[in-house]
């Protein structure tokens, strides 16, 4: 490790920190934030402003460097000053950047929907997304990188995928859910191989045991003397083991009482058992808060954006790349939440465009009221025709279809549209029907694969009077990339409505930008 002068304070001050943490550590921590600002570097200026807006707690009873949770008002970074007092100050800044990365990347409001996924895999994926690789870390001065490779702290990088989970091929710079899937798949494959190997071993052992029992039965001696001696020996051994267990328990208790918190922490640090981020402890603190539903999402959509914007202004317009990506996700999420507004806006735009205007007939002005124009020059607005294509394959959840049809009925009532043409399709058209404003539910047909072209074909090959002006397609997004035998007319607008877990595979770039709208239903 480096010399004592490279650290905020030396090992000798550990006991004084434990005795009076408020006056010692908090003051030094504030000075470190000030030193980041004094550096006048855009990157440090940005993070100094962002970190100064978080709250901090100081815990000594866990073997970790840091943890983080949301206390219903702000994000709280939990610090173990005992360990941070023993590493270089640049590494402390890097660890704080790591915690800020969890906030910026929305790791608190983005959880995998697979309840069976190992939590360790999820948290590992989040860490490697933030840290990068050992050779080129996304955050400089993380433990075991840069000039401080001898620091006995654990930091997870992309190499964890190959070293621990055996993932040979992966892409860098993806969302953490991508790496969760890779590690989960690798773990399941490894478990299957292990199970098969154990099954084969059990079969072989079973055959060997049968053979051994057969031999033993021929040579066994059932004399009472031997049985009595065995029983006596068992009693003696039991008493001896009980005595040893009591002695060990007594010694362990005394040893536990004698060990101070500082000794335990220093020992863990020297053994390399400390991690830079304790997710389990942060989760315990988070569960103790008991958040109301939607509170965290609301904070992420409002206050977090303000924190990022203010930090960018403070850093003279500089924004880290991960914060830029976070802003993009915020805007995307907000637009997804307003899918009903987007849907209604398209309807209003179509109604405005359908109102055709001709010059009023001046010769037919009223002789007494000349300002009253003859409305014979206007044509009435047309009600748009709607078509709905429902993906009824097995992968589409019922909630998506129900939410869509509920909103379609709201549009029908608002614009007095009596019926819409509804097509159910999986790999082929299953049913075509009229869906009225008074219909309460639909009967789902089909559960196979997904090919959407037949559904669009059924709508567009109707008579000219029945061809819809707007087609709404509800799908999970796992469909064909293009229509091979069908051309969508330019005048027909398409709204793709996908669920929050899906990604639309259809190539919308082949069509005019205003013709295709992809909306995520939350």
**pLDDT at position 491:** 85
Q: Is the pTM of this model over 0.85?
A: no
End-to-end C-alpha distance for the chain, whole angstroms: 50
38: Cβ contacts below 8 Å, ≥ 6 apart: none
Q: What is the CA radius of gyration of the chain?
A: 34
Give dist(CA 390, CA 444) in Å, integer: 9
Instruction: Give the strand pairing for 419-425 and 386-391.
Output: parallel
pLDDT by position in tens, the chain (length 522): 444 334 444 444 555 555 665 566 677 777 888 889 999 999 999 999 999 889 888 887 667 889 999 998 899 999 887 777 777 888 889 999 999 999 998 887 655 444 567 888 988 999 999 999 988 888 988 888 877 777 778 889 999 999 999 998 898 888 888 898 889 888 888 888 877 766 666 666 655 555 555 555 555 455 444 444 454 444 445 455 544 554 544 444 433 433 466 677 777 777 777 888 888 888 888 888 888 767 887 787 788 888 999 999 999 999 998 888 877 766 766 655 566 666 667 666 665 555 444 444 555 555 665 555 444 444 445 677 889 998 887 666 676 677 777 778 877 777 777 888 889 888 889 889 888 877 766 677 766 678 899 999 999 988 888 888 889 888 888 889 899 889 998 888 898 888 766 678 898 888 887 788 887 765
What is the crossing angle of helices 321-337 and 89-104, to 10°?
Answer: 20
Angle CA 211–217–223, to nearest 5: 155
Q: What pLDDT score was predicted for residue 318?
A: 93
User: Quick one: tokens of 276?
Assistant: 């830079």
d(CA 416, CA 414): 6
Tell me, what's the pLDDT at 14?
A: 55
**Structure confidence at residue 251 (pLDDT):** 43
Structural domains present in the chain = 4-179+272-332 (no CATH), 339-352+383-521 (3.40.50.410)
Task: State which H helix or E strand residue 67 sits in.
Answer: strand 66-70
Reading the block at residue 289, the tokens are: 């808060």
CB neighbours of 442 closer than 8 A, spacing ≥ 6?
A: 390, 401, 405, 422, 424, 435
Which backbone phi and psi does 64 adopt, to 5 degrees?
-150, 165
Contact indicator for 75, 103 with CB cutoff of 8 Å: yes
| CA dist list (Å): 18 to 59, 84, 222, 258, 263 | 10, 13, 66, 16, 12
Cα 432–chain centre separation: 38
Length of the chain: 522
Tokens of 145: 């990188």
- Distance of alpha carbon 32 from alpha carbon 87, whole angstroms: 13
Residues 6+ apart with CB under 8 A from 421: 385, 386, 387, 388, 432, 433, 434, 435, 459, 462, 466, 468
Per-residue model confidence (pLDDT) at position 48: 93
DSSP codes of every residue in 357-375: B----GGG--SS-TTS--G
Contacts of 44 (CB under 8 A, 6+ apart): 36, 37, 93
Q: Are the C-beta atoms of 426 and 401 separated by less than 8 Å?
A: no
Write the CB contacts of 510 (distance below 8 Å, at least 6 apart in sequence): 482
**Which two three-digit tokens encode residue 284?**
């315990």
Tell me the C-alpha distance between 70 and 296, whole Å.
Answer: 8
∠ CA 386-392-394, rounded to 5°: 160
Q: What is the pLDDT of residue 500?
A: 63
């Amino acid at each position: 490790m480096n010399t004592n002068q490279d650290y905020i304070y030396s090992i000798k001050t550990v006991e004084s920190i434990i005795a009076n943490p408020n006056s010692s550590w908090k003051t030094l921590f504030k000075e470190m934030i000030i030193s980041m600002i004094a550096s006048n570097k855009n990157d440090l200026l940005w993070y100094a402003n962002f970190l100064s807006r978080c709250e901090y707690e100081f815990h000594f009873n866990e073997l970790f460097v840091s943890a983080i949770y949301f206390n219903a008002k702000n994000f709280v970074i939990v610090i173990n000053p005992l360990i941070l007092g023993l590493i270089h100050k640049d590494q402390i800044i890097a660890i704080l950047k790591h915690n800020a990365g969890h906030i910026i990347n929305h790791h608190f409001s983005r959880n995998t929907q697979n309840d069976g996924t190992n939590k360790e895999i999820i948290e590992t994926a989040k860490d490697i997304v933030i840290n990068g690789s050992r050779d080129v870390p996304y955050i400089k001065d993380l433990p075991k990188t840069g000039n401080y490779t001898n620091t006995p702290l654990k930091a997870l990088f992309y190499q964890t995928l190959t070293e621990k989970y055996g993932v040979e091929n992966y892409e860098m710079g993806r969302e953490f859910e991508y790496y969760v899937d890779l590690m989960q798949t690798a773990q399941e494959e490894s478990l299957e191989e292990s199970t098969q190997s154990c099954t084969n071993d059990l079969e072989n052992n079973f055959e060997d045991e049968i053979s051994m029992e057969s031999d033993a039965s021929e040579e066994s001696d059932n004399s009472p003397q031997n049985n009595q001696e065995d029983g006596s020996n068992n009693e003696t051994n039991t008493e001896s083991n009980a005595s040893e267990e009591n002695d060990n328990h007594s010694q362990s208790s005394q040893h536990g009482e004698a060990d101070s918190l500082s000794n335990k922490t220093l020992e863990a640090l020297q053994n390399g058992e400390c991690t830079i981020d304790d997710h389990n402890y942060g989760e315990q603190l988070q569960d103790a808060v008991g958040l109301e539903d939607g509170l965290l999402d609301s904070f992420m959509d409002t206050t977090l954006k303000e924190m990022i914007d203010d930090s960018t202004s403070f850093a003279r317009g500089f924004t880290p790349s991960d914060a830029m990506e976070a802003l993009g996700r915020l805007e995307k999420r907000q637009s997804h939440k307003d899918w009903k507004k987007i849907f209604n806006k398209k309807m209003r735009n179509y109604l405005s465009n359908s109102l055709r205007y001709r010059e009023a007939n001046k010769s037919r002005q009223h002789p007494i009221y000349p300002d009253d124009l003859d409305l014979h020059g206007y044509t009435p607005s047309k009600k748009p025709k709607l078509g709905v294509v429902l993906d009824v394959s097995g992968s589409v959840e019922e909630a998506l279809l129900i939410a869509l049809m509920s909103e379609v009925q709201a549009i029908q009532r608002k614009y007095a549209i009596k019926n819409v043409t509804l097509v159910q399709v999986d790999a082929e058209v299953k049913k075509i029907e009229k869906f009225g404003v008074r219909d309460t539910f639909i009967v789902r047909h089909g559960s196979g694969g997904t090919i959407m072209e037949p559904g669009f074909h059924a709508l567009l090959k109707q008579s000219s009077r029945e061809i819809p002006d707007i087609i709404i397609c509800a799908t999970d997004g796992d469909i064909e990339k293009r229509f091979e035998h069908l051309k969508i007319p330019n005048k027909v607008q398409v709204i793709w409505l996908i669920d929050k877990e899906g990604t639309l595979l259809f190539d919308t770039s082949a069509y005019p930008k205003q013709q295709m709208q992809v909306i995520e239903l939350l």
